[in-house]
Structure 1
């Protein structure tokens, strides 16, 4: 049996968990509807710096931040729509919006929570569209499913490209194996790849893959005998890796568009007036036994 409950921390937190309490997620609506924690069979899957969650002036470092209406960054933080210039900071603004809970559900098979974020005066100044972003998180014995529905409430076509920034916990990065379904990549930070392997041994490493040959990316944690598989819809044509030296995480980020996507017109999704766009990612966790 799965359950859904709430508790009051710095912010109200929703906890979806199984009967033993060893598999659960925590969701904080006021902090960009983020999944702040994910634990599977008592093993942390997401990393979290709690102090960044507690401080609304900071971007949360950890969990699974939502990147909307853009992922990555724009050159000079600027894009153009109908010959007018607009500014958007890196990864958009969804992670800084307060959301609300629409519904929750729990039964023998799993638990889910549906949340909603929408436009306001501040977002309209930077992104001139009336929208609703609905996030549904479903937890079951197989893993975690994240479904995003972008609704265009406006009377004009709305461009966007979604992404996620999951921080996967990696206590010993020397024993992490990454399997990305592509050999085509570009460094976003110099020397991020050495001999076609991701470089954990510099201050910042950041690389983007395209020409994906499948929908599944894997992190094998040999220290914990775990395999974490991220499966993304076809809309997500890019996988980004990001890591910081000395921090026990690696980010495996599914993006719909590359760097500067709005300006280079790659990966941009166009939602017609009064229509919706839905996409899904799934995170599957398995124990592996090594001989």
Structure 2
């Protein structure tokens, strides 16, 4: 279910369960981003279009691996945040803050505590 933020002349939609993806951004009724709505409807498919929230990396790592404390961790392109459901604990009239926090599952791929949002 998208969350919608309306402000003067702006409409922004975020889909928390699809990685906090910004699926719609309109200015004065004109769309500013492309979104493949058919793919959004199928949770088995990766989202195409919109503006993904990328964490903990926004690009490629050599061999999809990083090292910390002599341990190797696999981390695919753009990290894992765009593939996880985000929470929206608080929505105000002109403020929408999606949140993602570390879990035992994320610690297997990224051994650090974090909280985004």
TM-score by length of 2: 0.91
The aligned counterpart of 1:14 is 3
Comparing both structures, which one devotes a greater share of its residues to strand? 1
Of structures 1 and 2, the one with the larger relative CO (CA 8 A, separation 6+) is 2
* 1:47 to 2:31 alignment: no
Alpha-carbon contact 1:59-1:95 (below 8 Å) kept? no
Alpha-carbon contact 1:16-1:24 (below 8 Å) kept? yes
Cα offset, 1:18, TM superposition: 4.1
* 1:104 to 2:94 alignment: no
Give unmatched runs, 5+ long, in structure 1. Answer: 1-11, 135-291
Alpha-carbon contact 1:29-1:99 (below 8 Å) kept? yes
Cα offset, 1:121, TM superposition: 2.3
Q: How many residues were matched structurally? A: 117
Cα offset, 1:122, TM superposition: 2.1
Cα offset, 1:58, TM superposition: 2.4
Alpha-carbon contact 1:68-1:94 (below 8 Å) kept? yes
Cα offset, 1:59, TM superposition: 2.3
* 2:20 maps to which of 33, 43, 58: 33
Structure 1 counterpart SS, 2:23: strand
Structure 1 counterpart SS, 2:3: strand
TM-score by length of 1: 0.38
Comparing both structures, which one devotes a greater share of its residues to helix? 2
* 2:55 maps to which of 65, 68, 75: 68
Q: CA RMSD in A?
A: 1.5
Cα offset, 1:37, TM superposition: 0.5
* 2:106 maps to which of 115, 123, 126: 123
The aligned counterpart of 1:261 is none
Distance in 2, matches of 1:131 and 1:18, equals 30
Distance in 1, matches of 2:44 and 2:108, equals 20
Structure 1 counterpart SS, 2:107: helix
Distance in 2, matches of 1:113 and 1:18, equals 11
Distance in 2, matches of 1:58 and 1:121, equals 24
Structure 2 counterpart SS, 1:30: helix
Give runs of ≥4 in structure 1 deviating > 4 Å: none
* 1:113 to 2:96 alignment: yes
Alpha-carbon contact 1:86-1:127 (below 8 Å) kept? yes
Distance in 2, matches of 1:92 and 1:18, equals 31
